[in-house]
Amino acid sequence: MRRFTWFNATSITLGFVFLYLPIILLVIYSFNDSRLVTVWGGFSGRWYGEALRNDAFLSAAWNTLQVALVTATVATVLGTLAAIVLVRGGRFLGRTLFGGMVYAPLVMPEVITGLSLLLLFVSLDVPRGLMTIMLAHITFAMCYASVVISARLVSFDRSLEEAALDLGCNQFSAFLRVTLPNILPSIIAAWLLSFTLSLDDLVIASFTSGPGATTLPMRIYSQVRLGVTPEINALSSMLVGLVTVGVIVASLISKRAETRRLAAERAAR
Amino acid sequence: MPEPPVILAKGTGAATAAGHAGTASGGPGGAKVFAPWNDPDAKPLVEFRSVTKLFGEVAAVDDLSLKIYPREFFALLGPSGCGKTTLMRMLAGFESPTHGEIWLDGKELTGTPPNRRPVNMMFQAYALFPHLSVADNIAFGLRRDGLPKGEVAERVEQMLALVQLHGLATRRPHQLSGGQRQRVALARSLAKRPKMLLLDEPLGALDKKLREQTQFELVSIQERLGTTFLIVTHDQDEAMTVADRIAVMDQGRLVQVAPPAQIYEYPTSRYVADFLGDVNLIEGRVAAMAAENARLTWCEGRPDFTCPANPDLKPGDTAWFGIRPEKVAIDKDMPPDRPGQNAVEGTVWDIGYVGNLSTYHVKLDDGQMVRAQVANRVHLARREISWEDRVWLSWGKDDGVLLAR
């Protein structure tokens, strides 16, 4: 462990303040009793109640949740398949191109992704709504999922699969009985990551949504343009809490699996 | 030239003879010898017929033919990259031969996937399933075969007893020591009662003491079960200790296939002589070839060596005389001249001391180095021979081999 110095302590404090002060302020003001956002009027939880009674917010939240659940599930399945092909498929024609295309949305500006999807849906005459938001979210969440899962697959000992084949499994049951249980933590992490990404996306959802399909970030954004209300603060605080829990759980799961795997590998030597 | 004396396989002890009694042919005096490879009527369990495996342009296995018999403990020995692992993986079904056929128990195997072959493999790094307990690891293959629950439990129990791992059934692989994992891997690969067990460097991950102990356990398990074992190793001591027969491989080909003692005492090439143990090689020209002995001119103006004959050589051929360092005697005085005795004079150049043994590096007067290895039966302080001493090296006429290649 490194020694404690005032320099270290100061820099880490400044860093965290820079990153988290706005969020902390938001959470604090969500408990503000006053209707004016910037004037402290005493502690109250009433805006949480107001936000939860706001039908527009609730229906947007329900939309968001549906989109996020479907996105996370489909993106994880597709991401797993892509990771298996990329890591295990060996050399096949177009492998580099396929790999590049799977990972491209990682670096693609969201505006471009959103715009191109909008053009696609319009030209194919697909009615826009929750369905199109889901499709759009799946395309970009899938590449994050496949990155997470392929990182685990790369370090997965291939001889385990061979042992399963040797002991009587065919390719499919070897995957199901040996590979899958061992990469499960990374699959869960990929699901949570996709879920979180879908939950807080504004840009792509705005491009691909249609009438009646408003997600929570879109609702908040449109509300804020008319002025920030304490209700928004409360709602945002709840979102922050949800995302934080998701990210923490995902990282805990993958970290615990990682340490267990390392311990197992150390013991193997 | 007489046939080289028949060297018995390691299984000449009472226990082994009993263990192999089923297939052993009765020798003179009732002594049982396990040597199906000398019996032209014996039916092999596995047969490689002109098998070639190409990786791109490189032949990992090159037109190789080999028979392995039931109940044999067979070792494939060679340096890394000689093709021994590829050969084993072709038998397991993880690679398929480019040319040739592999027969197992009367069936041609090409195209049969690994899960339908009656062989099991013990992997180099054990490949235990980390998410399953010891018992579930062992039961894995049995459950795939759809054995009833009671039978699975019974078989797991037997296997745990076989490898002496009672009480560890519920542990996970990462809670075990290296030696215990090795036993679990062995139990798992034997649980399905394969016709043949393949062992890929099975003891490579263990430390030296544990490895030696485990080698004997492997042999005793193999003898008790009567399963045919094929082991791949680069460790010559391991191959010598466990195997009935050793195949020495080099660049995808078999160089020599014989029981350990024969391969050590009668190597057929410099490669084998050098790969198994330590050897002095002296180049010369065949001066005379008789039925039993040959004479080799190795240095102008020195007496020729008398050595065992080699029917592949005729007078005038270039040949190599090989002799193991432990068969070379070292003396300060000239040894008494006996017929057939070879003696050369030289200077002690270096002494390698490893506690129980000393290896004297002696430079002959023509500049060649010859090593003589002596057990240190007297205390180091009373050793008579020291650096720079003039010494005589000597050996009997049948102690070495004459090699054509």
| Contact check, Cβ <8 Å, A169/B115 | yes
3-state class (DSSP) for residue B65: strand
The residues on B that touch A, with CB distances below 8 Å, are 92-94, 113-115, 120-121, 123-131, 140-141, 144-145, 173-178, 181, 188-189, 192, 205
Contact state of B94 with A165 under an 8 Å Cβ cutoff? yes
Nearest residue in A to B179, CA atom: A268
Structure tokens at B370: 């010859």
* Smallest Cα distance from B273 to chain A, Å: 33
Closest Cα to residue A218, out of A114, A126, A116, A139?
Answer: A114
Chain A nearest CA to B5, separation (Å):
41
Task: State whether A165 and B113 contact (CB < 8 Å).
Answer: yes
Q: Do A165 and B115 touch (CB under 8 A)?
A: yes
CB contact under 8 A, A166 and B173: no
Please state, in angstroms and rounded to a whole number, the distance separating the CA atoms of residues A160 and A158: 5
The C-alpha atoms of residue B11 and residue B188 are separated, in whole angstroms, by 26
Closest C-alpha to B347, from B332, B325, B362: B362
Which of B93, B129, B175 is closest, CB to CB, to A160? B129
Query: What's B257's DSSP letter?
Result: E
CATH fold label, B282-403: OB fold (Dihydrolipoamide Acetyltransferase, E2P) (2.40.50)
As a whole number of Å, the CA-based R_g of chain A is: 23
Domain ranges of chain A: 46-268
Q: Quick one: closest CA in A to B197, which residue?
A: A166
Q: Does domain B46-265 have CATH number 3.40.50.300?
A: yes
**pLDDT for position A108:** 86
Chain B CB contacts of A264 below 8 Å? 130, 173-174
pLDDT tens for residues A40-69? 878 888 888 888 888 888 888 888 889 999
Mutation target for B interface from A157, A160, A166: give the one with most B CBs within 10 A: A166
Residue B73, beta-bridge partner list: B229
The DSSP code for B184 is H
Residues in chain B: 405
Query: In whole angstroms, what is the distance from residue B281 CA to residue A250 CA?
Result: 65
Mutation target to probe the A interface, by most A beta carbons within 10 A, among B136, B145, B174 is B174
| Of A106, A267, A95, A112, the residue nearest A193 (C-alpha) | A106
What residue of B is the nearest CA neighbor of A265?
A: B174
* Polymer length of chain A: 269
CA-based nearest residue in chain B for residue A168 = B115
Strands (E), B161-292: 196-200, 228-233, 245-250, 253-258, 280-289
Looking at residue B20, what is its pLDDT? 40
Q: Which residue of A has its CA nearest to B140?
A: A167
For A16, phi then psi, to 5°, come to: -70, -35
Is A261 close to B114, i.e. CB distance below 8 A? no
CB < 8 Å to A261, chain B? 130
The complex scores an ipTM of 0.77
CA dist A26 and A228 (Å) reads 11
B164 token code pair: 């002496």
CB atoms within 10 A of CB A238: 18
pLDDT of residue B7: 47
* Single-letter code of the amino acid located at A177: R
Give the chain B residue whose CA is nearest to the CA of A181.
B131
Of A62 and A250, more confident: A62
State whether A181 and B123 contact (CB < 8 Å). Answer: no
Task: Give how far Cα A101 sits from Cα of A94, A104, A146, B301, Å.
Answer: 10, 5, 12, 78
Residue closest to B107 by CA, chosen among B47, B148, B66: B47
Residue A168 to chain B, least CA–CA distance (Å): 4
- Is the pTM higher than 0.80? The answer reads no
Boundaries of every domain in chain B = 46-265, 282-403
Could you tell me whether strands B73-77 and B58-68 are parallel, antiparallel, or unpaired per DSSP bridges?
Answer: unpaired
Give the model's pLDDT for residue A43. Answer: 84
In degrees and rounded to multiples of 5, residue B370 shows phi and psi of -130, 135
Closest CA to A140 of A171, A110, A175, A170: A110
Angle at which helices B208-225 and B149-162 cross, to 10°: 130
Q: What is the mean pLDDT of chain B?
A: 84
pLDDT at A174 over 70: yes
Chain A residues whose CB is inside 8 A of the B200 CB are none
In order of A58, A228, B339, the CA distances from A45 in angstroms are 18, 17, 112
The pLDDT value given to residue A264? 64
Sign of the alpha-carbon torsion through B343, B347, B349, B352: positive
Mean pLDDT score of chain A? 85
User: Cβ distance A131 to A209 under 8 Å?
Assistant: no
User: From the list A163, A261, A269, which residue is nearest B123 (CB)?
Assistant: A163
- Residues A230-258 have a mean pLDDT of 81
Least Cα distance to B264 among B342, B324, B201 occurs for B324
Alpha-carbon distances, residue B124 vs A27, B182, B186 (angstroms): 56, 9, 11
Q: How far apart are CA B236 and CA B75, in angstroms?
A: 10
pLDDT for B154 equals 92
Which residues of chain B make contact with A152, given a CB cutoff of 8 A? none
User: A46-268 — its CATH code?
Assistant: 1.10.3720.10
CA pair distance B313, B289, nearest whole angstrom: 8
Among chain B residues, CA nearest to A159: B127
Q: Report the pLDDT averaged over residues A142-164.
A: 90
Q: What are phi and psi of B93, to 5 degrees?
A: 105, 5
Per-residue pLDDT 10s for chain B (405 aa) are 444 444 444 444 333 433 343 333 434 444 567 888 888 888 889 999 989 999 888 888 998 999 999 999 999 999 888 889 999 999 999 988 999 999 998 888 888 888 889 999 999 889 999 889 999 999 999 999 888 999 999 999 999 988 888 888 888 988 888 889 999 999 999 999 999 999 998 888 788 888 888 899 899 899 888 899 999 998 888 899 899 999 999 988 999 999 999 999 999 999 999 888 889 898 888 888 887 888 888 877 788 888 888 888 888 888 888 899 999 888 888 888 777 788 888 888 998 888 888 899 999 888 888 999 988 888 877 778 888 888 888 888 888 888 888
* 3 state SS of A232: helix
- What is the token pair recorded at A59? 């229906």
Structure-block tokens of residue B110: 């090409």
CB contact under 8 A, A267 and B123: no
pLDDT at B32: 64
